[in-house]
Amino acid sequence: MSNSDEITWQILAHQHCSYKLKLDTRSQNFCRNEYNLTGLCNRQSCPLANSRYATVRSDPATGTMCLYLKTPERNHLPSKWWERVQLPANYEKALAVIDEKLLYWPNEKFFVHKCKQRLTRLTQVAIRERRIAKEEERLGEKIVPRLASKVRRREETRERKAESAAKVERAIERELIERLRSGAYGDRPLNVEEGVWRKVLKGLERAEKGEEVEFEEEEEEEGEREVEVEYVSDMEESEAEEMEDFDDWLGGESADEDTEVSGEGEGSEEDSDEEESDDSEEGAKKAAAGIKRKRPAPQAKPRKGPKLEIEYEMEQPAREALLA
């Protein structure tokens, strides 16, 4: 190592370096220089503070592995600092080329080991990329990379917490809906979300519409019942019975009068009164007997609408004329 390399490292390590990456959680700093062999920021791995350096990189255009060598003889030519040696596609031959190119380097063991390690890792990444590309071509869609175990556990924990929170929210929503339906909050609840309130109102409206439909169906059934046609008499049963009793009474009275006229002739007023009382008693008995002999008529269904009462009266002069 030359003195210039040491001065360069002191400046980069203690003053400023654009490639240095400091993390608060780690004591070790990292290097973002694309030619860094290990990715760590230290004296041995720094590509700027070492005039003799070697690393392995993949060509961005073709994807082939290349060995980059830096020697002190080209320090005065910054555009030609790095010598690029293309490594063969065969992994074993590529390792042999690394051993051959780094055979006489001062720090041979460190660079040979790290270059072989980096070549192995890049080869594995290339194989995995080709396999993923073939799988995507076969499926016709992009494959989502698998998450690390730490990230996966974190996501599972978040999902579990979100599910538990959603269950609690659903339970609260159901409880609020039950309270709203029971009328615990009155007509205008103030401590309920507007969406929940609207949902409850929609449910109540549906229930009311269902009741209205049932009421309309009942009205339609009643209307159909009213439309049914029935044939009944124009006089009610009680009126018909009264008319029959009156006819029987008139018939019995006329027969008795005929017998009285033929047998006895004219009688006194007292005899006529007694006869009238006897005739009335006999007529009542005959009417009762007629009612017993007559089969009771079936009761008609009461008609809707106002009822009409009919009363029959006999005038006294007409009755006396009949008796005379």
**Strand 65-70 versus strand 53-58 pairing type:** antiparallel
Phi, psi of 189 (to 5 degrees): -75, 140
Residue boundaries of the structural domains of the chain: 3-139, 169-227, 237-297+314-323
What is the SS3 assignment for 82? strand
Q: Which residues pair with 25 in a beta bridge?
A: none
The number of residues in the chain equals: 324
Alpha-helix runs per DSSP H in the chain: 3-14, 91-101, 108-139, 149-182, 194-227, 237-263, 269-293, 316-323
- pLDDT at position 97 is 92
CATH number for the domain whose boundaries are 3-139: 3.30.390.110
What is the SS3 assignment for 69? strand
List CB contacts of 147: < 8 A, sequence separation 6 or more.
155
Q: Which of 300, 160, 277, 295 is nearest to 231 (CA)?
A: 300
- pLDDT at position 147 is 73
Give the pair of three-digit tokens for residue 31. 């290097």
Give the whole-angstrom CA distance, residue 298 versus residue 291: 15
User: What pLDDT tens digit does each residue of the chain (324 aa) get?
Assistant: 567 888 888 998 888 889 998 887 778 889 999 999 998 998 889 999 888 999 999 988 888 899 999 988 888 888 888 999 999 989 999 999 999 988 888 877 899 999 999 999 999 999 988 898 888 888 888 877 777 888 888 989 999 999 988 888 888 888 878 877 787 766 665 555 677 667 777 777 777 777 666 666 666 665 555 444 454 444 455 555 666 666 666 655 444 445 444 444 444 544 555 555 555 666 656 555 555 455 555 665 655 566 667 777 666 665 565 565
**Strand 65-70 versus strand 82-86 pairing type:** antiparallel
| The residue to which tokens 């019995």 are assigned | 252
Give the pair of three-digit tokens for residue 127. 């194989």
Give the pair of three-digit tokens for residue 66. 């290349």
DSSP state letters, 106-143: TTHHHHHHHHHHHHHHHHHHHHHHHHHHHHHHHHTSPP
Q: Model's pTM, two decimal places?
A: 0.45
